[in-house]
Amino acid sequence: MRIAATVRGIIIATNKSNQLEDIVANSITDARSPLTTLINGLLGKWEGLTARFWGVEAESLALRKGASGAFALQICSAGLGLIAHIVVARLLGVEEYGTYALALTWVTVLTVPALIGQDTSVVRFLPTYCYHGAWDKARGLRRGVSLMVLIASLAIAVLGALIVYQIRAHLGTRLEHTLLAGFMLLPVLTQLQLSSALHRALKRPVSSVIFNGVLRPIMLMGILLTLWLGLNHQLNAPFAICASALAAVFAFAACSWFLARAWPPAAKAIRPTYCISVWSTVGAQLLLISALYITLNRLGVLVIGGLGGSNVVGPYYAAVHLGSLAGYGLTAVNTILAPTIAERYHAGEHDALANIVHDAAWLTFMVTVAVTLPLGLAGYWVLGLFGPAFHKAYVPLLIILAGYCASAMAGPTGYLMTMTRFERPASLIMGGGAVLNVLLCLVLVPPLGMIGAAVAIATATIAWKFAALVFVYRRMNVNPSIFPIAGV
């Protein structure tokens, strides 16, 4: 029960008044709950292996506890997300699922400019405002960036719909309708992600994951099954995208309600102060980084969709989605690590910052390996759950998993740069990785197909992560990797 107690501790310590987190904590720590057995089984060995890397420092202890809670929810989120995609693939079939995946990928890509970098900006600024008691700026940040993102997402959605309408003859009716339905998802999805980022900035790792990662896929599956039964088993890609939009609406409503309850009382009634120029300047740089990141991760899907059609993009998208589970270790650790980096850096606590990011690298690497091994062994069978045509994506899946393991060795270099003052060098380094990914995709995808796309993304990700590691070591005198570096 040690892990269950750890998860409960971070949940309750984050905000005792939050009823949702109490419910999650109770379900985790109840000895009779199946969730207790699941989490203990998945995390028991992990805690034992990582214990030797953690000292008694307060920040490291907070990271371990916060990462445990976030990782527990990431496990639930990963499982539900995978099940949701399997359900969609089974209900739609390989061709319709390929259309759905292509449209969803475009929505994911467009979410990046629609967020204008503010999902990362709030994680950088809000902890600092709270640390210094600048409650007027904290309230202004929440209200200001929400309006900025809403305007940007609506503008991009309208522009995208107009473009699709103009080129509809080249798309086909089904893809046209699916893309148009996807643009309805964009404003809701951006607000949901921004609200989750605000939870994250408040160091609420459970709340930052549970709405988008748990509630949304549950709602999606329920809506899809209802439509499938109501339409006499005639579900198609446009209906699936509409169901995804409706699920996002429910998740956003719940996320916003709990954010209002968790918001610091001192930042509720005070007159807001808006630092639009500062948020916009930093957000623009962070937007570039996010755009480069999404290029690194989704370019292969778009290239294969353009060259191979829906029958090919569906299996590769499933491999990318399944392989991304290996990155959940980094995601879980960064949920609590990112705001901590911002706090420690702006407080001038270099030694504490150096210790915590090096410890985080080991934690991330071990979780990544622990997730990758079973995925590699069971990947062929899991892909078969999507349908018989998806088995051909097994080799690309193995390549993607290998890339995650190798890049995890470099540690949280990206967040270490973007949460401090080095967002510009970070964008240049990631830009080099994105260019490399584009070039490799253009060279390797035509002859090798899905395997070429997987090699491109793995190579480019490893390249930029280790380039960032060299920069952080030389400029910040910090070792965020698992490697022992002399003098750091």
CA distances from 272 to 131, 359, 433 (A): 17, 37, 39
309: left (phi over 0), alpha (psi -120 to 50) or beta: left
Name the H helices within 387-418.
394-408, 413-418
Give the C-alpha separation, 250 to 394, whole Å.
34
How far is 186 from 46, CA to CA, in rounded Å? 37
Structure tokens at 177: 């309708």
What sections of 167-275 are H helices per DSSP? 168-171, 173-201, 205-209, 216-230, 237-262
Query: Could you tell me the pTM of the whole model?
Result: 0.62
**R_g of the chain computed on alpha carbons:** 22
Collect all residues with Cβ–Cβ distance below 8 Å to 377 and sequence separation of at least 6. Answer: none
Nearest Cα neighbor of 153 from 121, 118, 101 is: 118
Q: In whole angstroms, what separates CA 196 from the centre of its chain? A: 11
Each of the 488 residues of the chain gets a pLDDT tens digit; together they read 333 443 344 333 334 334 434 443 344 334 444 444 444 444 443 444 344 333 334 444 444 555 555 566 766 777 788 888 888 888 888 888 888 888 888 888 888 889 888 888 888 888 888 888 889 999 999 999 999 999 999 999 999 999 988 888 888 888 888 889 888 889 999 999 999 989 888 878 778 888 988 899 999 999 988 888 877 777 888 888 999 999 999 999 999 999 998 898 888 888 988 888 888 887 777 777 777 666 666 666 777 766 655 566 778 888 887 888 787 666 666 666 766 777 777 777 778 777 878 777 887 888 888 889 998 999 899 888 888 888 888 999 999 999 989 888 888 887 788 777 787 888 888 888 888 888 888 888 888 888 888 898 899 889 988 998 889 888 888 888 888 765 45
Please work out, in degrees rounded to the nearest 5, the angle formed at the alpha carbon of residue 478 by the alpha carbons of 477 and 481: 140
